[in-house]
Amino acid sequence: MKIITITNIKGGTGKSTSAVHLSLALGRRGKTLSVDMDQQGDLTEFFFPDESPESFDQANAYTVLKAETTLMESVRSSHGIDILPSVEDLSELTFQIAKDFSLIQRLKRVLRASRYDFIVIDTPGSISPETISSYIAADIILVPIIPAKWAIRRVNQVLKKVLQAKEFEGTNISKVLILPMSWGKSQKQIELLETIRSIPGLEILEPIPFSTSIKDRTESNVLLQEGKPAWMAFDSLAEVLLK
């Protein structure tokens, strides 16, 4: 089993986009679960665009964390993979953990007890109990960044939180990988990527190139076209993460 948590503490960096297409790529290689720990539910909406949010109220990521439902009772299938959907009630996790701090590790326990080959976790664009729980559960932390002047600062903030998460007993984080997203070929973006690659201790993956098809198809809840550059980029990412 390999658990990959996708995170950045700023929105708009391509977390959900990465989670969707990486999950699908891994699904072609083994039994895959995609976990939506972001109450905004973008990943859930991609896979179930015709479902109302209320249809997930009885069984979802939050009910699993509260032990009201089992993981297998709560997942739904789409495009050959399983999805644990999000609901807005995930925002209540802060109050639940204040009453019972052991809940911060429940996601890890539930996922480790499952029989998936690969698990991808999408997280909120903030440091929240949902995010920390997802760090604790992970083998690999994947940090998407976009070509913006604050990119390096956000990476450093994530690294600090990952180090704190590693202090929890039984944490299995082995790698923190930086994934440049929507990277173009302008001189400014090339120089920014070189600057990021020069930071000691960071492992930088090959960029997912800028592509209108990734943005347009993801926003329209449509799969990437097999064999096209966008599809190949995420397929290659899956291969790298399996090594």
pTM of the model: 0.94
Gap between the terminal Cα atoms of the chain: 13
Per-residue pLDDT of the chain (243 residues; tens, 9 = 90+): 999 999 998 777 889 999 999 999 999 999 999 999 999 999 999 999 999 999 999 999 999 999 999 999 999 999 999 999 999 999 899 899 989 988 999 999 999 999 999 999 999 988 899 999 999 999 999 999 987 777 777 788 888 888 888 888 888 999 999 999 888 778 888 888 888 888 887 899 999 988 888 989 999 999 999 999 999 999 999 999 998
Half-sphere exposure of 135 (CA within 13 A, CB side): 25
Give the residue extent of every domain in the chain: 2-242
3-state secondary structure of 209: strand
Q: Which tokens belong to 208?
A: 């997912």
CATH of 2-242, one of 3.50.50.60, 3.40.30.10, 3.30.420.40, 3.40.50.300: 3.40.50.300
Q: What is the pLDDT of residue 10?
A: 74
Alpha carbons 104 and 233: distance in angstroms, whole number: 34
